[in-house]
Amino acid sequence: MIKVGLTGNIGSGKTTVCRVFEMLDIPVYYADAEARKFLNSPGVTGQLQILFGKNILDAEGKPDRKKIAGIVFRDKERLKQLNDIIHPLVRQGFESWLQMHSSSPYALQEAAILFETGHYRHFDKTILVTAPKQVRIERICRRDGVSVRDVEERMQNQSDQSALEKLADFTIHNDGRLLVIPQILRIHEQLAGTIS
């Protein structure tokens, strides 16, 4: 089973691209969604309280994601500590999930961060989805109903796309001009070993 990591900056179209791979019957593990689930698991809640203090829980006793995001956004050490709790769980979750999809020629993991953490080394191949910054901003404003300023703030800590492109095995240019599906099909053919 070939393990493929798929990443891209905010609004590049990672999820949209993954939905196309799913239409081709390729299983996709959404790492960020899984990480959010782990954040709410009982074992993790205790660790988060130790790391961030008792006030990190909301009225329902669940970790307050907004508060956590606010802290780790400005504090790299805290972000690393949070990742040290969550990332191993996501990795283990992915390995168990892979076993359920062993008949597929390859499987994808979608993750917002792949190269920055060195996590890409756990994959046989990597795919980067790119789009110009202006296009990404417009997409997120439209999708999330937020302001340009909000999006730009979320983008602050993101890596430069051209630097990531050098590390990725494949790049999908989702700029709204180039057709995306033929690009996906070309990669699919290579990964599935069905080049005609």
| Residue spans of beta strands (DSSP E) within the chain | 2-8, 28-30, 106-110, 125-130, 170-173
Report in angstroms the alpha-carbon separations of 182 from 2, 21, 46, 107, 189: 21, 12, 47, 19, 10
Encoding tokens for residue 88?
């191993």
188 binds ligand ATP per the rule CB under 6 A? no
Task: Give the DSSP letter string of 59-115.
Answer: TTSSB-HHHHHHHHHH-HHHHHHHHHHHHHHHHHHHHHHHHTTTTSSEEEEE-S-ST
Q: Which among 166, 167, 178 has a CA at the least distance from the CA of 132?
A: 178
Total residues in contact with ligand ATP, by rule CB under 6 A: 14
Shortest separation between residue 110's beta carbon and ligand ATP, angstroms: 7
Span near ligand ATP by CB under 6 A; candidates 8-16, 44-52, 80-88, 158-166: 8-16
| Residues in 80-139 that interact with ligand ATP by CB under 6 A | 112, 139
Binding mask 40-69 for ligand ATP (x = CB under 6 A): ------------------------------
Q: Do residues 170 and 125 lie in contact, with contact meaning Cβ atoms separated by under 8 Å? A: yes
With CB under 6 A as the contact rule, the residue among 143, 147, 149, 163 that binds ligand ATP is 143
Span near ligand ATP by CB under 6 A; candidates 11-19, 43-51, 92-100, 185-193: 11-19
With CB under 6 A as the contact rule, the residue among 5, 6, 8, 151 that binds ligand ATP is 8
With CB under 6 A as the contact rule, the residue among 4, 12, 31, 109 that binds ligand ATP is 12
Q: Do residues 38 and 44 lie in contact, with contact meaning Cβ atoms separated by under 8 Å? A: yes
Shortest separation between residue 101's beta carbon and ligand ATP, angstroms: 21
Span near ligand ATP by CB under 6 A; candidates 13-21, 82-90, 113-121, 158-166: 13-21
Shortest separation between residue 174's beta carbon and ligand ATP, angstroms: 5
36 binds ligand ATP per the rule CB under 6 A? no
Q: Do residues 29 and 132 lie in contact, with contact meaning Cβ atoms separated by under 8 Å? A: no
Q: Do residues 105 and 2 lie in contact, with contact meaning Cβ atoms separated by under 8 Å? A: yes
